[in-house]
A and B are shown apart, each in its own frame.
Chain A
Amino acid sequence: MSGTEPLLRVEGLVKRLGAQEVLKGIDFVVHRGEVVAIIGASGSGKSTLLRCLNLLISPDNGRILWKGREVGWVERGGKRIRATERELLPYRTEIAMVFQSFNLFPHMTALQNIIEAPVMVLGRPKAEVTAEAEALLAKVRLGHRKDAYPHQMSGGEQQRVAIARALAMKPEALLFDEVTSALDPELKGEVLAVMRDLAAEGMTTISVSHEMGFVRSVADRVIFMHKGRVRESGDPKTVLANPQTPELAAFVESVTD
């Protein structure tokens, strides 16, 4: 089965915030090595969906299967109950996340930010992790910034450190939550270049993005969300060129490349 089972399978995902249903039953699968882009107007539930995927927030209904096994629930005394925060931690280390606002730890240097979780969470030897972190910094073209604190770096540099921090966990998939939205136009390019590199290396990524150029040229599949539902999905070139719903047509019209 493992040959055909997708890396991630989402079935009927529902999330309510108060009285409002933010996600109204989301289904999709992600295969190993796929680059999936989630697009949609603000308020369509994209970021909520991404946070449900690594269970930063718990869905109210539906299932998330990671490598064929359901996550977020455990069996105890013959009863199916929600997993505790501690029980979710191993899963989160396999599906790392990069945030819109970088969220680097401000009291740690670039290098310390990267080695923190591999050393303290995975318990790996510091010397080995440091060598890997330096290689990751070089990969995101920041080898010269390893001793800089976040406040000394530009937004583009901070975001590339955040990507290196996520990669240092050696995750099997990466979640990108509008990672270029907080950046000035001239800084978006350097972050998108790193995302292109990752896609070329075969990294599985799920990105919420407004960068239509990136979605068209890099994504294997695009998922268009509208009001908590997946309205269209498929090959980005086809889907974006021939919208089947008025909502996607309006969205494509409204966004600029």
Chain B
Amino acid sequence: MDVLLRQFPRFLDAIWLTLWMFAVITVIATLLGLALALWAEGRRARGLDLYTWVFRGLPELVVLLFCYLALPYAGIDLGSIGSAILAFVLVGTAFHAEIFRASLRAVDPRLTEAARSLGMPPGLRLRRVVLPQVARIALTPWATFLAGNVKMLSLASAVSVGEVMMVTRQSLAISQDPLTLILFAGAVYAAIASLVMIAETLIGGWMTRRYGPATGGT
């Protein structure tokens, strides 16, 4: 316990680092995933298929080590945090792209037909009719991926990112009470993941009460 208390300032820094890395990775990967999904719509997007196949299949740790250890040989040295962000963005984008592709396909085509019959041009249709449905359909799979992704960030300790798992492992080396430290680290990740899940439940519930079931009321 005394180790945890003495190391607490470092843990606070680590929690902060974990949180902002998670936020940066989520924003970039979500926007890239959405952009790729929109680009791929109505196309034979073989390149995107290959990309999402590779990065959904590879273990995160492999991608992470590749970015940290192999890219410097190609003259790209992003450092610990940079490599970790790149690796998780590469993997996250693959998942988000598939989530948004599936959500776009799930939008009721009759809504698009109604929008066309009202003379709405493609961009307006997307913005005013299609994307609001996508937001509702994608919310649960998107949040589920994010809740899992929080835990994956602990892998970043393998490339010396000073996030929660890194500080925990360093503290374990000088502690007589590993259980407390391990439980504490676990609680931090679980708490962040829980925030994501709670937000998803609240937002999803609010949208269902306001707009009815996600797949349309007709």
Residues of B within 8 A of A103 (CB): 108, 110-111, 113-114, 218
Contact A150 B122 (CB under 8 A): no
Which of B47-55, B125-133, B191-199 is found at the contact surface with chain A? Answer: B125-133
- Give the bracket for the number of chain A residues in contact with chain B: 20 to 34
Give the docked Cα–Cα distance between A151 and B209 (Å). Answer: 10
Contact A93 B118 (CB under 8 A): yes
Q: Which of these, A116, A152, A158, contacts B118 with CB under 8 Å?
A: A116
Residues of A within 8 A of B120 (CB): 89, 117, 120-121
A-contact bits for B121-147, CB 8 A (1 contact / 0 none): 110100011001100100000000000
Give the docked Cα–Cα distance between A121 and B125 (Å). Answer: 10
Residues of B within 8 A of A86 (CB): 121-122
Residues of A within 8 A of B210 (CB): 149
Closest to B114 in A: A103
Q: Decide: A106 near B124, CB < 8 A? Known: A96-B118, A117-B118, A149-B211.
A: no
Residues of B within 8 A of A97 (CB): 114, 117
Contact B119 A102 (CB under 8 A): no
B-contact bits for A88-105, CB 8 A (1 contact / 0 none): 011011001101011111
Residues of A within 8 A of B129 (CB): 105
Contact B128 A116 (CB under 8 A): yes
Number of residue pairs spanning A and B whose beta carbons lie under 8 angstroms apart: 86
Contact B119 A169 (CB under 8 A): yes
Contact A121 B212 (CB under 8 A): no
Contact B217 A150 (CB under 8 A): yes
Residues of B within 8 A of A116 (CB): 118, 128
Residues of A within 8 A of B111 (CB): 103, 105-106
Contact B133 A106 (CB under 8 A): yes
Residues of A within 8 A of B216 (CB): 106
Contact B119 A151 (CB under 8 A): no
Which parts of B69-127 form the interface with A (CB within 8 Å)?
108, 110-111, 113-122, 124
Taking Cβ atoms with an 8 Å cutoff, the residues of A that contact B are 54, 56, 85-86, 89-90, 92-93, 96-97, 99, 101-107, 116-117, 120-122, 149-152, 158, 165-166, 169, 182
Can you spell out 22 A-B residue pairs with CB atoms less than 8 angstroms apart?
A: A85-B116, A85-B121, A89-B119, A92-B117, A93-B118, A99-B110, A103-B110, A103-B114, A104-B114, A105-B132, A106-B211, A107-B211, A117-B118, A117-B120, A120-B120, A120-B128, A121-B118, A121-B121, A122-B119, A150-B217, A150-B218, A166-B118
